[in-house]
Structure 1
Protein backbone atom coordinates (compact mmCIF):
# COMPACT_ATOMS: atom_id res chain seq x y z
CA UNK A 1 0.00 0.00 0.00
CA UNK A 2 1.40 3.44 -0.89
CA UNK A 3 2.18 5.94 1.81
CA UNK A 4 -0.38 8.36 0.38
CA UNK A 5 -3.10 5.71 0.55
CA UNK A 6 -2.06 4.80 4.08
CA UNK A 7 -2.33 8.45 5.05
CA UNK A 8 -5.94 8.46 3.87
CA UNK A 9 -6.74 5.75 6.37
CA UNK A 10 -5.15 7.42 9.36
CA UNK A 11 -7.21 9.33 11.90
CA UNK A 12 -5.80 11.45 14.63
CA UNK A 13 -5.91 9.42 17.85
CA UNK A 14 -7.97 10.46 20.85
CA UNK A 15 -6.60 13.10 23.16
CA UNK A 16 -5.00 11.23 26.04
CA UNK A 17 -4.55 14.02 28.58
CA UNK A 18 -6.98 16.19 30.50
CA UNK A 19 -6.50 19.27 32.65
CA UNK A 20 -7.58 18.74 36.23
CA UNK A 21 -9.93 21.13 37.95
CA UNK A 22 -8.07 23.83 39.91
CA UNK A 23 -7.13 22.90 43.45
CA UNK A 24 -9.48 25.40 45.03
CA UNK A 25 -12.44 23.55 43.55
CA UNK A 26 -11.07 20.12 44.41
CA UNK A 27 -10.71 20.93 48.11
CA UNK A 28 -14.35 21.66 48.85
CA UNK A 29 -15.33 19.80 52.00
CA UNK A 30 -18.61 18.11 52.83
CA UNK A 31 -20.61 20.05 55.42
CA UNK A 32 -20.65 18.18 58.74
CA UNK A 33 -23.50 18.94 61.16
CA UNK A 34 -22.51 19.95 64.67
CA UNK A 35 -24.49 18.65 67.65
CA UNK A 36 -26.69 21.30 69.29
CA UNK A 37 -26.09 21.77 72.99
CA UNK A 38 -28.89 20.67 75.34
CA UNK A 39 -31.47 23.37 75.89
CA UNK A 40 -30.65 25.25 72.68
CA UNK A 41 -33.67 26.82 71.08
CA UNK A 42 -34.41 26.58 67.33
CA UNK A 43 -35.56 29.82 65.76
CA UNK A 44 -38.94 29.42 64.08
CA UNK A 45 -38.87 30.22 60.39
CA UNK A 46 -35.09 29.97 60.08
CA UNK A 47 -33.81 29.11 56.60
CA UNK A 48 -33.03 25.41 56.08
CA UNK A 49 -29.41 24.30 56.11
CA UNK A 50 -27.58 24.38 52.78
CA UNK A 51 -27.30 20.99 51.10
CA UNK A 52 -23.89 19.35 51.18
CA UNK A 53 -21.60 20.33 48.32
CA UNK A 54 -20.34 17.62 46.01
CA UNK A 55 -17.13 16.15 47.34
CA UNK A 56 -13.95 15.07 45.60
CA UNK A 57 -12.36 12.03 47.23
CA UNK A 58 -9.04 10.38 46.42
CA UNK A 59 -9.08 6.57 46.13
CA UNK A 60 -5.57 5.06 46.15
CA UNK A 61 -5.80 1.48 44.84
CA UNK A 62 -2.03 1.24 44.68
CA UNK A 63 -2.17 1.11 48.47
CA UNK A 64 -5.38 -0.94 48.68
CA UNK A 65 -6.56 -2.67 45.47
CA UNK A 66 -10.00 -3.27 47.01
CA UNK A 67 -10.63 0.35 48.00
CA UNK A 68 -12.85 1.49 45.13
CA UNK A 69 -16.16 -0.32 45.66
CA UNK A 70 -16.41 0.75 49.34
CA UNK A 71 -15.67 4.31 48.19
CA UNK A 72 -18.43 4.07 45.56
CA UNK A 73 -20.85 2.80 48.19
CA UNK A 74 -19.93 5.56 50.66
CA UNK A 75 -20.04 8.42 48.13
CA UNK A 76 -22.97 10.79 47.92
CA UNK A 77 -24.76 11.41 44.61
CA UNK A 78 -22.82 13.95 42.55
CA UNK A 79 -19.44 13.21 44.12
CA UNK A 80 -16.21 12.64 42.22
CA UNK A 81 -13.77 9.84 43.02
CA UNK A 82 -10.21 10.41 41.85
CA UNK A 83 -8.75 6.97 41.24
CA UNK A 84 -5.09 5.98 41.36
CA UNK A 85 -3.46 2.59 40.71
CA UNK A 86 -5.14 -0.70 39.78
CA UNK A 87 -8.50 -1.27 41.44
CA UNK A 88 -9.82 -4.84 41.64
CA UNK A 89 -13.52 -5.31 40.98
CA UNK A 90 -16.05 -5.89 39.62
CA UNK A 91 -17.78 -2.58 40.42
CA UNK A 92 -21.43 -1.55 40.58
CA UNK A 93 -22.47 2.11 40.45
CA UNK A 94 -26.05 2.86 41.43
CA UNK A 95 -25.94 6.66 41.87
CA UNK A 96 -24.84 9.80 40.00
CA UNK A 97 -21.06 9.68 40.21
CA UNK A 98 -17.83 10.61 38.41
CA UNK A 99 -14.75 8.39 38.42
CA UNK A 100 -11.62 10.14 37.14
CA UNK A 101 -8.29 8.40 36.76
CA UNK A 102 -4.96 9.85 37.81
CA UNK A 103 -1.93 8.56 35.92
CA UNK A 104 -2.39 5.00 34.65
CA UNK A 105 -5.52 4.20 36.65
CA UNK A 106 -7.04 0.78 35.93
CA UNK A 107 -10.36 -0.83 36.80
CA UNK A 108 -9.86 -4.60 36.63
CA UNK A 109 -12.90 -6.89 36.67
CA UNK A 110 -10.81 -9.83 37.88
CA UNK A 111 -12.69 -12.14 35.46
CA UNK A 112 -15.61 -12.08 37.91
CA UNK A 113 -18.34 -10.32 35.89
CA UNK A 114 -18.76 -7.03 34.04
CA UNK A 115 -15.94 -4.80 35.20
CA UNK A 116 -18.34 -1.85 35.63
CA UNK A 117 -22.13 -2.08 35.91
CA UNK A 118 -24.09 1.18 35.79
CA UNK A 119 -27.55 0.75 37.25
CA UNK A 120 -30.78 2.04 35.76
CA UNK A 121 -31.33 5.70 36.65
CA UNK A 122 -27.69 6.45 37.47
CA UNK A 123 -25.78 9.17 35.61
CA UNK A 124 -22.10 8.25 35.52
CA UNK A 125 -18.91 9.67 34.01
CA UNK A 126 -15.80 7.52 33.56
CA UNK A 127 -12.78 9.69 32.73
CA UNK A 128 -9.19 8.72 31.92
CA UNK A 129 -9.50 5.09 33.01
CA UNK A 130 -8.50 1.71 31.60
CA UNK A 131 -11.36 -0.77 31.99
CA UNK A 132 -10.20 -4.35 31.58
CA UNK A 133 -10.38 -7.92 32.87
CA UNK A 134 -14.16 -8.25 32.68
CA UNK A 135 -15.82 -11.60 31.97
CA UNK A 136 -19.60 -11.35 31.69
CA UNK A 137 -21.97 -14.30 31.70
CA UNK A 138 -24.54 -12.38 29.64
CA UNK A 139 -23.83 -8.80 28.50
CA UNK A 140 -20.94 -6.36 28.62
CA UNK A 141 -17.61 -7.81 29.63
CA UNK A 142 -16.07 -4.40 30.27
CA UNK A 143 -19.13 -2.23 30.93
CA UNK A 144 -22.81 -3.06 31.29
CA UNK A 145 -24.67 0.25 31.11
CA UNK A 146 -28.33 0.46 32.10
CA UNK A 147 -28.29 4.16 32.96
CA UNK A 148 -26.75 7.27 31.39
CA UNK A 149 -23.02 6.86 30.92
CA UNK A 150 -20.20 8.95 29.44
CA UNK A 151 -16.86 7.26 28.76
CA UNK A 152 -14.25 9.95 28.11
CA UNK A 153 -10.52 9.66 27.25
CA UNK A 154 -10.57 6.06 28.43
CA UNK A 155 -9.63 2.60 27.15
CA UNK A 156 -11.90 -0.44 27.26
CA UNK A 157 -9.77 -3.47 26.42
CA UNK A 158 -9.33 -7.21 26.86
CA UNK A 159 -12.81 -7.93 28.17
CA UNK A 160 -14.97 -10.90 27.22
CA UNK A 161 -18.55 -12.10 27.10
CA UNK A 162 -17.68 -15.75 26.42
CA UNK A 163 -21.29 -16.96 26.66
CA UNK A 164 -23.10 -13.72 25.78
CA UNK A 165 -22.94 -10.49 23.77
CA UNK A 166 -21.02 -7.20 23.81
CA UNK A 167 -17.50 -8.05 24.84
CA UNK A 168 -16.36 -4.47 25.51
CA UNK A 169 -19.48 -2.41 26.29
CA UNK A 170 -23.16 -3.30 26.37
CA UNK A 171 -25.55 -0.36 26.33
CA UNK A 172 -29.18 -0.63 27.44
CA UNK A 173 -29.55 3.08 28.24
CA UNK A 174 -27.78 6.16 26.93
CA UNK A 175 -24.06 5.84 26.19
CA UNK A 176 -21.59 8.45 24.95
CA UNK A 177 -18.04 7.37 24.11
CA UNK A 178 -15.67 10.29 23.45
CA UNK A 179 -11.94 10.37 22.60
CA UNK A 180 -11.61 6.78 23.79
CA UNK A 181 -10.32 3.40 22.61
CA UNK A 182 -12.34 0.17 22.54
CA UNK A 183 -10.01 -2.65 21.55
CA UNK A 184 -9.31 -6.36 21.72
CA UNK A 185 -12.60 -7.36 23.29
CA UNK A 186 -14.43 -10.65 22.52
CA UNK A 187 -18.04 -11.82 22.62
CA UNK A 188 -19.72 -15.07 21.74
CA UNK A 189 -22.73 -13.13 20.42
CA UNK A 190 -23.08 -9.74 18.72
CA UNK A 191 -20.96 -6.67 19.36
CA UNK A 192 -17.38 -7.64 19.98
CA UNK A 193 -16.48 -4.05 20.88
CA UNK A 194 -19.80 -2.29 21.57
CA UNK A 195 -23.32 -3.68 21.53
CA UNK A 196 -26.10 -1.08 21.50
CA UNK A 197 -29.57 -1.74 22.83
CA UNK A 198 -30.42 1.93 23.44
CA UNK A 199 -28.99 5.30 22.37
CA UNK A 200 -25.28 5.30 21.45
CA UNK A 201 -22.92 8.07 20.31
CA UNK A 202 -19.25 7.39 19.57
CA UNK A 203 -17.14 10.47 18.80
CA UNK A 204 -13.42 10.88 18.04
CA UNK A 205 -12.60 7.34 19.12
CA UNK A 206 -10.78 4.21 17.95
CA UNK A 207 -12.58 0.84 17.78
CA UNK A 208 -10.28 -1.98 16.69
CA UNK A 209 -9.20 -5.58 17.19
CA UNK A 210 -12.59 -6.69 18.54
CA UNK A 211 -14.34 -9.97 17.68
CA UNK A 212 -17.98 -11.07 17.84
CA UNK A 213 -20.31 -13.49 16.07
CA UNK A 214 -21.64 -10.43 14.19
CA UNK A 215 -20.92 -6.73 14.46
CA UNK A 216 -17.26 -7.22 15.32
CA UNK A 217 -16.63 -3.57 16.16
CA UNK A 218 -20.10 -2.12 16.83
CA UNK A 219 -23.52 -3.80 16.69
CA UNK A 220 -26.89 -2.02 16.76
CA UNK A 221 -29.70 -4.38 17.72
CA UNK A 222 -33.37 -3.52 17.26
CA UNK A 223 -35.77 -1.10 15.62
CA UNK A 224 -35.96 2.15 17.57
CA UNK A 225 -32.35 1.90 18.72
CA UNK A 226 -29.87 4.44 17.38
CA UNK A 227 -26.10 4.45 16.97
CA UNK A 228 -24.19 7.52 15.77
CA UNK A 229 -20.50 7.25 14.87
CA UNK A 230 -18.67 10.55 14.35
CA UNK A 231 -14.98 11.12 13.52
CA UNK A 232 -14.09 7.59 14.55
CA UNK A 233 -11.89 4.82 13.16
CA UNK A 234 -13.51 1.36 13.14
CA UNK A 235 -10.85 -1.01 11.90
CA UNK A 236 -9.41 -4.51 12.02
CA UNK A 237 -12.45 -6.00 13.75
CA UNK A 238 -13.91 -9.43 12.95
CA UNK A 239 -17.42 -10.86 12.71
CA UNK A 240 -16.94 -14.60 12.80
CA UNK A 241 -20.38 -16.00 11.95
CA UNK A 242 -22.67 -13.59 10.11
CA UNK A 243 -22.02 -10.00 9.07
CA UNK A 244 -20.62 -6.59 9.86
CA UNK A 245 -16.93 -6.90 10.54
CA UNK A 246 -16.76 -3.20 11.39
CA UNK A 247 -20.41 -2.29 12.04
CA UNK A 248 -23.53 -4.43 12.07
CA UNK A 249 -26.99 -2.86 12.05
CA UNK A 250 -29.73 -5.40 12.60
CA UNK A 251 -32.90 -3.31 12.44
CA UNK A 252 -32.23 0.07 14.03
CA UNK A 253 -30.74 3.32 12.77
CA UNK A 254 -27.01 3.86 12.26
CA UNK A 255 -25.43 7.14 11.15
CA UNK A 256 -21.72 7.25 10.25
CA UNK A 257 -20.16 10.70 9.73
CA UNK A 258 -16.56 11.75 9.08
CA UNK A 259 -15.29 8.28 9.96
CA UNK A 260 -13.11 5.54 8.48
CA UNK A 261 -14.24 1.91 8.34
CA UNK A 262 -11.31 -0.18 7.15
CA UNK A 263 -9.50 -3.50 7.40
CA UNK A 264 -12.48 -5.36 8.91
CA UNK A 265 -13.52 -8.95 8.06
CA UNK A 266 -16.84 -10.83 8.06
CA UNK A 267 -18.64 -13.54 6.06
CA UNK A 268 -20.88 -10.73 4.68
CA UNK A 269 -20.46 -6.98 4.87
CA UNK A 270 -16.80 -6.89 5.76
CA UNK A 271 -17.07 -3.19 6.53
CA UNK A 272 -20.78 -2.73 7.29
CA UNK A 273 -23.79 -5.10 7.32
CA UNK A 274 -27.17 -3.38 7.25
CA UNK A 275 -30.69 -4.58 7.92
CA UNK A 276 -32.14 -1.27 9.14
CA UNK A 277 -31.51 2.37 8.24
CA UNK A 278 -27.92 3.28 7.43
CA UNK A 279 -26.59 6.71 6.43
CA UNK A 280 -22.89 7.20 5.67
CA UNK A 281 -21.74 10.81 5.19
CA UNK A 282 -18.25 12.16 4.51
CA UNK A 283 -16.70 8.81 5.38
CA UNK A 284 -14.58 6.06 3.85
CA UNK A 285 -15.21 2.30 3.71
CA UNK A 286 -11.90 0.88 2.53
CA UNK A 287 -10.02 -2.41 2.27
CA UNK A 288 -12.55 -4.55 4.12
CA UNK A 289 -13.02 -8.24 3.32
CA UNK A 290 -16.08 -10.49 3.06
CA UNK A 291 -15.33 -14.21 3.05
CA UNK A 292 -18.76 -15.45 1.95
CA UNK A 293 -18.21 -15.48 -1.80
CA UNK A 294 -18.86 -13.24 -4.77
CA UNK A 295 -22.14 -11.74 -3.48
CA UNK A 296 -21.08 -11.11 0.11
CA UNK A 297 -20.28 -7.38 -0.01
CA UNK A 298 -16.71 -6.68 0.99
CA UNK A 299 -17.47 -3.06 1.84
CA UNK A 300 -21.21 -2.86 2.57
CA UNK A 301 -23.83 -5.60 2.48
CA UNK A 302 -27.48 -4.57 2.32
CA UNK A 303 -29.56 -7.35 3.83
CA UNK A 304 -32.59 -5.07 4.05
CA UNK A 305 -33.68 -1.58 4.97
CA UNK A 306 -32.10 1.46 3.34
CA UNK A 307 -28.52 2.55 2.72
CA UNK A 308 -27.68 6.17 1.83
CA UNK A 309 -24.16 7.28 0.85
CA UNK A 310 -23.39 11.00 0.94
CA UNK A 311 -19.97 12.29 -0.18
CA UNK A 312 -18.41 9.00 0.89
CA UNK A 313 -15.91 6.58 -0.63
CA UNK A 314 -16.39 2.79 -0.77
CA UNK A 315 -13.21 1.52 -2.37
CA UNK A 316 -10.78 -1.38 -2.53
CA UNK A 317 -12.93 -3.89 -0.69
CA UNK A 318 -12.85 -7.66 -1.37
CA UNK A 319 -14.44 -9.34 -3.29
CA UNK A 320 -16.22 -6.10 -4.28
CA UNK A 321 -17.51 -2.93 -2.66
CA UNK A 322 -21.25 -3.43 -2.23
CA UNK A 323 -23.82 -6.21 -2.48
CA UNK A 324 -26.30 -7.16 -3.72
CA UNK A 325 -25.23 -5.63 -7.02
CA UNK A 326 -27.02 -2.33 -7.72
CA UNK A 327 -28.77 -2.27 -4.34
CA UNK A 328 -26.87 0.75 -2.96
CA UNK A 329 -26.99 3.96 -5.01
CA UNK A 330 -23.57 5.62 -5.52
CA UNK A 331 -21.70 2.41 -4.67
CA UNK A 332 -19.74 1.07 -7.63
CA UNK A 333 -18.12 -2.33 -7.98
Structure 2
Protein backbone atom coordinates (compact mmCIF):
# COMPACT_ATOMS: atom_id res chain seq x y z
CA UNK A 1 0.00 0.00 0.00
CA UNK A 2 2.79 2.39 0.92
CA UNK A 3 4.61 1.64 -2.36
CA UNK A 4 1.40 2.25 -4.30
CA UNK A 5 0.99 5.65 -2.68
CA UNK A 6 4.59 6.55 -3.47
CA UNK A 7 4.09 5.63 -7.11
CA UNK A 8 0.94 7.73 -7.30
CA UNK A 9 2.70 10.75 -5.81
CA UNK A 10 5.61 10.56 -8.26
CA UNK A 11 3.34 10.06 -11.24
CA UNK A 12 1.10 12.95 -10.23
CA UNK A 13 4.09 15.26 -9.79
CA UNK A 14 5.46 14.44 -13.26
CA UNK A 15 2.12 14.84 -14.97
CA UNK A 16 1.27 18.21 -13.45
CA UNK A 17 3.10 19.98 -16.27
CA UNK A 18 1.08 18.02 -18.76
CA UNK A 19 -2.38 18.45 -17.29
CA UNK A 20 -3.25 21.58 -19.27
CA UNK A 21 -5.74 21.00 -22.07
CA UNK A 22 -4.19 23.75 -24.20
CA UNK A 23 -0.60 24.85 -23.44
CA UNK A 24 -0.11 28.63 -23.20
CA UNK A 25 3.25 30.35 -22.86
CA UNK A 26 2.31 32.17 -19.65
CA UNK A 27 1.79 28.84 -17.85
CA UNK A 28 5.55 28.29 -17.88
CA UNK A 29 6.94 31.82 -18.17
CA UNK A 30 4.66 33.36 -15.54
CA UNK A 31 4.29 36.43 -17.80
CA UNK A 32 1.10 37.17 -19.74
CA UNK A 33 1.26 37.67 -23.50
CA UNK A 34 0.33 41.39 -23.36
CA UNK A 35 3.18 41.98 -20.87
CA UNK A 36 5.66 40.16 -23.16
CA UNK A 37 4.62 42.44 -26.02
CA UNK A 38 4.84 45.59 -23.89
CA UNK A 39 8.35 44.71 -22.73
CA UNK A 40 9.59 44.28 -26.29
CA UNK A 41 7.95 47.51 -27.45
CA UNK A 42 9.43 49.38 -24.49
CA UNK A 43 12.83 47.87 -25.20
CA UNK A 44 12.54 49.12 -28.78
CA UNK A 45 11.53 52.56 -27.54
CA UNK A 46 14.58 52.75 -25.31
CA UNK A 47 16.80 51.57 -28.18
CA UNK A 48 15.51 54.40 -30.41
CA UNK A 49 16.31 56.94 -27.72
CA UNK A 50 19.78 55.43 -27.31
CA UNK A 51 20.52 55.69 -31.05
CA UNK A 52 19.40 59.32 -31.12
CA UNK A 53 21.69 60.07 -28.18
CA UNK A 54 24.61 58.27 -29.83
CA UNK A 55 24.16 60.26 -33.04
CA UNK A 56 24.12 63.62 -31.25
CA UNK A 57 27.16 62.70 -29.16
CA UNK A 58 29.13 62.21 -32.38
CA UNK A 59 28.81 65.96 -33.08
CA UNK A 60 31.88 66.84 -31.05
CA UNK A 61 32.09 70.45 -32.32
CA UNK A 62 28.45 71.25 -31.56
CA UNK A 63 27.92 72.10 -27.89
CA UNK A 64 24.14 72.16 -28.20
CA UNK A 65 24.10 68.73 -29.85
CA UNK A 66 26.37 67.32 -27.14
CA UNK A 67 24.20 68.75 -24.38
CA UNK A 68 21.05 67.25 -25.89
CA UNK A 69 22.85 63.97 -26.49
CA UNK A 70 23.73 63.72 -22.81
CA UNK A 71 20.13 64.52 -21.87
CA UNK A 72 18.92 61.68 -24.06
CA UNK A 73 21.56 59.35 -22.68
CA UNK A 74 20.54 60.12 -19.09
CA UNK A 75 17.56 57.81 -18.55
CA UNK A 76 16.64 59.68 -15.36
CA UNK A 77 15.29 62.48 -17.56
CA UNK A 78 11.90 61.58 -19.07
CA UNK A 79 11.87 61.87 -22.85
CA UNK A 80 8.76 64.05 -22.63
CA UNK A 81 10.83 66.73 -20.85
CA UNK A 82 13.62 67.01 -23.44
CA UNK A 83 13.41 69.92 -25.89
CA UNK A 84 15.35 69.22 -29.11
CA UNK A 85 14.27 72.37 -30.97
CA UNK A 86 17.55 74.27 -30.19
CA UNK A 87 19.48 71.87 -32.47
CA UNK A 88 20.81 73.11 -35.79
CA UNK A 89 18.52 72.81 -38.79
CA UNK A 90 20.29 69.80 -40.29
CA UNK A 91 20.34 67.94 -36.97
CA UNK A 92 16.70 68.73 -36.34
CA UNK A 93 15.71 67.23 -39.69
CA UNK A 94 17.85 64.15 -39.09
CA UNK A 95 16.50 63.51 -35.59
CA UNK A 96 12.92 64.23 -36.67
CA UNK A 97 13.22 61.68 -39.47
CA UNK A 98 13.15 58.99 -36.79
CA UNK A 99 9.48 59.80 -36.28
CA UNK A 100 8.60 58.25 -39.65
CA UNK A 101 10.58 55.05 -39.19
CA UNK A 102 8.42 51.97 -38.59
CA UNK A 103 8.83 48.59 -36.93
CA UNK A 104 6.65 45.49 -37.17
CA UNK A 105 6.79 42.60 -34.73
CA UNK A 106 5.32 39.26 -35.84
CA UNK A 107 4.93 36.92 -32.85
CA UNK A 108 4.54 33.13 -32.79
CA UNK A 109 4.18 31.26 -29.48
CA UNK A 110 4.22 27.48 -30.03
CA UNK A 111 3.76 25.23 -26.98
CA UNK A 112 3.69 21.42 -27.10
CA UNK A 113 3.11 19.01 -24.21
CA UNK A 114 3.78 15.28 -24.52
CA UNK A 115 2.85 12.92 -21.65
CA UNK A 116 3.55 9.19 -21.92
CA UNK A 117 2.87 6.33 -19.50
CA UNK A 118 4.32 2.88 -20.17
CA UNK A 119 3.20 0.16 -17.74
CA UNK A 120 3.75 -3.53 -17.17
CA UNK A 121 2.09 -5.80 -14.62
CA UNK A 122 2.80 -9.48 -13.86
CA UNK A 123 0.21 -11.36 -11.83
CA UNK A 124 1.84 -14.44 -10.34
CA UNK A 125 -0.06 -17.41 -8.99
CA UNK A 126 1.83 -19.50 -6.41
CA UNK A 127 1.39 -23.27 -6.54
CA UNK A 128 3.00 -26.02 -4.47
CA UNK A 129 5.05 -26.96 -7.55
CA UNK A 130 6.12 -23.42 -8.37
CA UNK A 131 4.92 -20.07 -9.75
CA UNK A 132 3.16 -19.17 -12.97
CA UNK A 133 3.23 -15.62 -14.33
CA UNK A 134 0.81 -13.82 -16.68
CA UNK A 135 2.55 -10.62 -17.83
CA UNK A 136 0.86 -7.84 -19.78
CA UNK A 137 1.77 -4.26 -20.74
CA UNK A 138 -0.12 -1.03 -21.39
CA UNK A 139 0.75 2.38 -22.84
CA UNK A 140 -0.91 5.79 -23.01
CA UNK A 141 0.50 8.68 -25.05
CA UNK A 142 -0.91 12.21 -25.01
CA UNK A 143 0.22 15.24 -26.98
CA UNK A 144 -1.27 18.73 -27.07
CA UNK A 145 -0.17 21.80 -28.97
CA UNK A 146 -1.20 25.44 -29.03
CA UNK A 147 0.10 28.05 -31.50
CA UNK A 148 -0.60 31.77 -31.06
CA UNK A 149 0.32 34.23 -33.81
CA UNK A 150 -0.25 37.97 -33.89
CA UNK A 151 1.35 41.16 -35.15
CA UNK A 152 2.07 44.68 -33.86
CA UNK A 153 3.25 47.69 -35.87
CA UNK A 154 4.67 50.94 -34.47
CA UNK A 155 6.18 54.12 -35.77
CA UNK A 156 9.18 55.44 -33.87
CA UNK A 157 7.41 58.74 -33.36
CA UNK A 158 4.42 57.17 -31.65
CA UNK A 159 6.64 54.97 -29.48
CA UNK A 160 8.59 57.99 -28.26
CA UNK A 161 5.78 60.50 -27.94
CA UNK A 162 2.50 58.64 -27.46
CA UNK A 163 3.37 55.70 -25.20
CA UNK A 164 1.44 56.08 -21.90
CA UNK A 165 3.56 56.24 -18.76
CA UNK A 166 1.68 53.35 -17.19
CA UNK A 167 2.42 51.16 -20.23
CA UNK A 168 6.05 52.05 -20.69
CA UNK A 169 7.44 54.07 -17.74
CA UNK A 170 9.47 57.10 -18.70
CA UNK A 171 12.20 56.96 -17.62
CA UNK A 172 12.06 53.18 -17.47
CA UNK A 173 14.40 50.31 -16.85
CA UNK A 174 14.52 47.52 -19.39
CA UNK A 175 13.64 44.04 -18.17
CA UNK A 176 16.83 42.00 -17.59
CA UNK A 177 17.66 38.95 -19.68
CA UNK A 178 15.86 35.71 -18.87
CA UNK A 179 18.03 32.73 -19.85
CA UNK A 180 15.28 30.13 -19.32
CA UNK A 181 12.51 31.90 -21.24
CA UNK A 182 14.30 34.75 -23.09
CA UNK A 183 11.14 36.14 -24.71
CA UNK A 184 10.05 37.49 -21.30
CA UNK A 185 13.19 39.62 -20.88
CA UNK A 186 15.50 41.74 -23.00
CA UNK A 187 15.81 40.20 -26.49
CA UNK A 188 18.45 42.54 -27.95
CA UNK A 189 16.35 45.12 -29.80
CA UNK A 190 19.15 47.71 -29.48
CA UNK A 191 21.46 45.45 -31.50
CA UNK A 192 18.78 44.87 -34.16
CA UNK A 193 18.13 48.59 -34.52
CA UNK A 194 21.84 49.42 -34.57
CA UNK A 195 22.46 46.90 -37.36
CA UNK A 196 19.59 48.33 -39.39
CA UNK A 197 20.76 51.91 -39.06
CA UNK A 198 24.39 51.00 -39.78
CA UNK A 199 23.41 49.18 -42.96
CA UNK A 200 21.21 52.07 -44.05
CA UNK A 201 23.85 54.75 -43.46
CA UNK A 202 27.11 52.99 -44.29
CA UNK A 203 26.16 50.13 -46.64
CA UNK A 204 23.63 51.86 -48.89
CA UNK A 205 20.76 49.66 -47.76
CA UNK A 206 18.07 50.07 -50.38
CA UNK A 207 14.92 48.54 -51.81
CA UNK A 208 13.70 48.12 -55.38
CA UNK A 209 10.77 50.32 -54.48
CA UNK A 210 9.71 52.06 -51.30
CA UNK A 211 11.85 52.68 -48.21
CA UNK A 212 14.82 50.48 -47.22
CA UNK A 213 13.86 47.60 -44.92
CA UNK A 214 15.58 45.15 -42.60
CA UNK A 215 14.22 41.98 -40.98
CA UNK A 216 15.50 39.74 -38.23
CA UNK A 217 14.01 36.47 -36.95
CA UNK A 218 14.62 35.81 -33.25
CA UNK A 219 13.72 32.32 -32.03
CA UNK A 220 13.97 30.91 -28.51
CA UNK A 221 13.29 27.22 -27.76
CA UNK A 222 13.03 25.85 -24.22
CA UNK A 223 12.41 22.17 -23.46
CA UNK A 224 11.67 20.64 -20.06
CA UNK A 225 11.52 16.89 -19.49
CA UNK A 226 10.74 14.76 -16.44
CA UNK A 227 10.81 10.99 -16.07
CA UNK A 228 10.15 8.39 -13.37
CA UNK A 229 10.28 4.61 -13.37
CA UNK A 230 8.69 3.35 -10.14
CA UNK A 231 8.22 -0.36 -9.47
CA UNK A 232 5.46 -2.01 -7.43
CA UNK A 233 6.27 -5.27 -5.63
CA UNK A 234 4.09 -7.11 -3.08
CA UNK A 235 5.84 -9.86 -1.11
CA UNK A 236 4.41 -13.30 -1.93
CA UNK A 237 2.53 -15.41 0.53
CA UNK A 238 2.19 -19.18 0.00
CA UNK A 239 -0.89 -20.24 -2.00
CA UNK A 240 -1.94 -16.60 -2.76
CA UNK A 241 -1.90 -14.42 -5.87
CA UNK A 242 0.84 -11.76 -5.94
CA UNK A 243 1.59 -8.93 -8.33
CA UNK A 244 4.65 -6.99 -9.44
CA UNK A 245 4.99 -4.31 -12.07
CA UNK A 246 6.65 -1.14 -13.23
CA UNK A 247 5.52 2.11 -14.83
CA UNK A 248 7.58 4.52 -16.93
CA UNK A 249 6.21 8.07 -16.75
CA UNK A 250 7.52 10.76 -19.10
CA UNK A 251 6.32 14.36 -19.28
CA UNK A 252 7.88 16.77 -21.78
CA UNK A 253 7.11 20.36 -22.66
CA UNK A 254 8.64 22.29 -25.54
CA UNK A 255 8.06 26.02 -26.07
CA UNK A 256 9.21 27.88 -29.17
CA UNK A 257 8.88 31.65 -28.94
CA UNK A 258 9.56 33.53 -32.15
CA UNK A 259 9.40 37.18 -33.15
CA UNK A 260 10.18 38.45 -36.63
CA UNK A 261 11.18 42.12 -36.49
CA UNK A 262 10.91 44.28 -39.60
CA UNK A 263 12.26 47.84 -39.78
CA UNK A 264 11.52 50.38 -42.49
CA UNK A 265 13.39 53.67 -42.97
CA UNK A 266 11.92 57.10 -43.61
CA UNK A 267 10.45 57.56 -47.09
CA UNK A 268 7.89 60.34 -46.72
CA UNK A 269 8.71 63.98 -45.93
CA UNK A 270 7.69 65.89 -42.83
CA UNK A 271 6.54 69.47 -42.80
CA UNK A 272 8.35 72.06 -40.66
CA UNK A 273 5.36 72.12 -38.32
CA UNK A 274 5.56 68.32 -37.85
CA UNK A 275 9.30 68.50 -37.23
CA UNK A 276 8.84 71.20 -34.58
CA UNK A 277 6.01 69.24 -32.98
CA UNK A 278 8.09 66.09 -32.76
CA UNK A 279 11.12 67.88 -31.28
CA UNK A 280 9.15 69.86 -28.72
CA UNK A 281 8.70 68.48 -25.18
CA UNK A 282 5.36 66.92 -24.31
CA UNK A 283 3.30 64.32 -26.13
CA UNK A 284 1.39 66.41 -28.67
CA UNK A 285 2.45 64.38 -31.70
CA UNK A 286 0.89 61.54 -33.66
CA UNK A 287 1.95 59.76 -36.82
CA UNK A 288 -0.88 59.07 -39.28
CA UNK A 289 -1.73 55.37 -39.46
CA UNK A 290 -0.99 53.30 -42.54
CA UNK A 291 2.09 55.24 -43.59
CA UNK A 292 4.38 54.10 -46.39
CA UNK A 293 6.92 53.05 -43.77
CA UNK A 294 4.41 50.94 -41.80
CA UNK A 295 3.27 49.15 -44.94
CA UNK A 296 6.91 48.55 -45.94
CA UNK A 297 7.83 47.06 -42.56
CA UNK A 298 4.86 44.67 -42.71
CA UNK A 299 5.74 43.72 -46.27
CA UNK A 300 9.32 42.99 -45.20
CA UNK A 301 8.04 40.63 -42.50
CA UNK A 302 5.74 38.88 -44.98
CA UNK A 303 8.64 38.42 -47.39
CA UNK A 304 10.71 36.90 -44.60
CA UNK A 305 7.90 34.43 -43.81
CA UNK A 306 7.53 33.44 -47.46
CA UNK A 307 11.29 33.01 -47.96
CA UNK A 308 12.29 31.25 -44.77
CA UNK A 309 9.17 29.83 -43.12
CA UNK A 310 6.83 28.49 -45.81
CA UNK A 311 9.72 27.03 -47.79
CA UNK A 312 10.48 24.66 -44.93
CA UNK A 313 6.98 23.21 -44.77
CA UNK A 314 6.36 19.76 -46.23
CA UNK A 315 3.29 19.01 -48.31
CA UNK A 316 0.86 21.50 -49.85
CA UNK A 317 0.82 25.07 -48.57
CA UNK A 318 -2.24 27.30 -48.40
CA UNK A 319 -1.44 31.00 -48.34
CA UNK A 320 -4.14 33.31 -47.05
CA UNK A 321 -4.98 36.18 -49.40
CA UNK A 322 -4.40 38.67 -46.57
CA UNK A 323 -0.74 37.64 -46.51
CA UNK A 324 -0.36 38.49 -50.19
CA UNK A 325 -2.34 41.72 -50.05
CA UNK A 326 0.78 43.78 -49.42
CA UNK A 327 2.64 42.50 -52.49
When normalised by structure 1's length, the TM-score is 0.22
Return the index of the structure with the highest Cα Rg: 2
Larger proportion of strand: 1
Higher relative contact order (CA 8 A, sep 6+): 2
